Amino acid sequence: MTDEMRTSRRTFLGQAAATAIALGAPAHLWACVPADGKSEDDGPELSAGTDKLDRIGLQLYTVRDLMKQNVEDTLTKVAGIGYKDVEFAGYFDRTPTALRATLDKLDLTSPASHIGYDAIAPAKIAATLDAANAIGNKYIIVAYLLDTQRKTLDDWKRHAEVFNRAGEAANARGLTFAYHNHDFEFVRLDGKVPYDVLLESTDPKLVKMEMDLYWITKAGSDWSAYFNRWPGRFPMVHVKDSAGPPQHEMRDVGAGSMPFASIFAQRQKGGIEHFFVEHDNPKDPLASIRASYEHLKRLTF
C-alpha cells in the first residue's frame, strides 16, 4: 500500500467513525502447484480435498466509492453476485437500523464491522456497541493504528490494555472485539514483534484477530506459524491476493500467488469462521469482487 493509499484508508475510517457517532451509532508457500484440470483463469492454487466455502463475505471498503453513490443499489449488486456476508467500514450516512433492514431484504448478514480506534474510547464505546448490535454484528474490529499511535513497544502494550477493556465491554453486549493487521505489526521494536505483543498481552477470551492474509504475507511473516502458536485466535480472515515479492502488487483473488487452498485447509486450527474478500483499490470494483467470488466458489481445499 502506498502512502497515498494508507492516508486514504485512514481518512475513510476517520470519516466513517465520525459519521457513525454523529448518527448516534458508532510469506510463505509462494510456489503453488496448479491442480490438474484447472484453467489459467483459476490461478496457481493448490487444490487438494473436497471442502468448499459455504459462505463468502466481502469487506465493503472494496466498493466504497459505489456505496457513497448508492448504498442500497450496491448491496443489491453484491448480493446478486452471490456474497452472503458483508463487513462494513462506515455506514455511509445510513443508520444501523436502516442498513439492517436492507440486509434482511437482500438475505445478507453482517458478521463484523470495521471501526476506528477512537470508537472504543470510553465516551464512544457504548454508541459503537449499540450500532453493532443494531446491524447484527458479532464482531467489532479496530482496523488501523496511526503512525503516531505505534512508535514504541510501550505503545503496543498500552493498546493491548485498551483492547482488553474493549473486549470486556463487547462481551457484556454479546459481541467480540478483534483487531485487523496490516504489515507494520510485524516490524520488530526492541527485539519484539508488535503483533506477538498484542497476542501475548490480551485475553484470548476477550480479544481475537482478523488476519489480513495479504499483509501478513507481504510483511514476510508466516500465517501458519501463528495458527500453530495461537490456535483459535483468528475467527476472520481478509482474502486478498498478491502478485508476489518484491512489490506484492495487489490482485483479485485467484489472479495472484497466494496459496488460499493451503490456508483454508488450516481453518479449524486458526479458528476461521468468516472469509472476507477485499481489494484496496480495484480498477473496476464490481468486476473485481465478481472475479474473486467466482474463484473462491470453485476453490476446493
> pLDDT value at position 23?
39
> pLDDT value at position 277?
99
> pLDDT value at position 9?
54
> pLDDT value at position 145?
98
Report residue 126: phi and psi, to 5°: -60, -45
Q: CATH assignment of 3-26+53-240+266-279, given 1.10.3720.10, 3.40.50.300, 3.20.20.120, 3.20.20.150?
A: 3.20.20.150
pLDDT tens digit string along 166-201? 999 999 999 999 999 999 999 999 999 999 999 999
Q: Is the peptide bond before 34 cis (omega within 30 degrees of 0)?
A: no
> pLDDT value at position 49?
85
> pLDDT value at position 33?
30
Provide the phi-psi class of 220: left if phi over 0, else alpha when psi is between -120 and 50, else beta.
left
Low-confidence ranges of the chain (pLDDT < 50): 1-7, 17-44, 46
Which cell numbers in the block locate residue 75? Answer: 448491496
The sign one gets for the Cα dihedral 57, 61, 65, 70 is: positive
What's the predicted TM-score (pTM) here? 0.86
> pLDDT value at position 293?
98
pLDDT tens digit string along 3-36? 444 445 555 555 554 444 433 443 333 323 333 3
> pLDDT value at position 48?
63
